[in-house]
Amino acid sequence: MATATDQLDKLKNKRGQQDVTFTAVGYGLQKSFPDAASWKTVAIRERMVAYPHLLQINTGFTGDFSLLLSNNANTGGTCFGDSGGPNFIGNSNVVGGVTSFGINGNCAGTGGVYRVDRADDLDWLATFDVTP
């Protein structure tokens, strides 16, 4: 299902923003460790889905092109290797954005998502024929 133009903007003023979830899909690390324990990252490529919460949208930090989602052990999130993976809105099949960046080296706190609900992105995506 396609994302509607500016669909995510309505989340800016939604009450209970902490209850807005996404479904992040990827094959990256489960978590990242400081250098002293970096050997642990080799065996932790397990998680393929997480349910992060919306933290920021349309702020001075995110601008109108990205949003921040939670990255933590309770709700999950994204980490290294997940970039480019889809972030579905709630439990729908609508892609709201793609995993783009992290704020820190431990993949904790927040994860950045590039929004794909803007007109220029939707126009570009429409140029690809995805019929089987």
**Predicted TM-score of the model (pTM):** 0.80
**Domain-located, residue 3:** no
**Total number of domains constituting the chain:** 1
Q: What is the CATH number of the domain that holds 28?
A: 2.40.10.10
Q: Is residue 115 situated within a structural domain?
A: yes
CA-only gyration radius of the chain, Å: 15
Question: Residue 66: inside a domain, yes or no?
Answer: yes
Binned at pLDDT 50, 70 and 90, residue 13 comes out as confident
Which tokens sit at 31? Answer: 């978590």
- What's the pLDDT tens digit per position in 36-53? 555 555 545 555 788 888
26 compared with 75, residue with greater pLDDT: 26
Task: Examine residue 23 and state whether it is found in any structural domain, yes or no.
Answer: yes
- Which of the pair, 34 or 125, is modelled with greater confidence? 125
Does residue 116 sit within a domain? yes
69 within domain boundaries = yes
Angle at 99 between CA 94 and CA 104, to 5 degrees: 145
Is residue 37 included in any domain, yes or no? Answer: yes
Which residues span the domain enclosing 77? Answer: 19-125
Place of tokens 């993976």: 85
Domain assignment of residue 8, yes or no? no
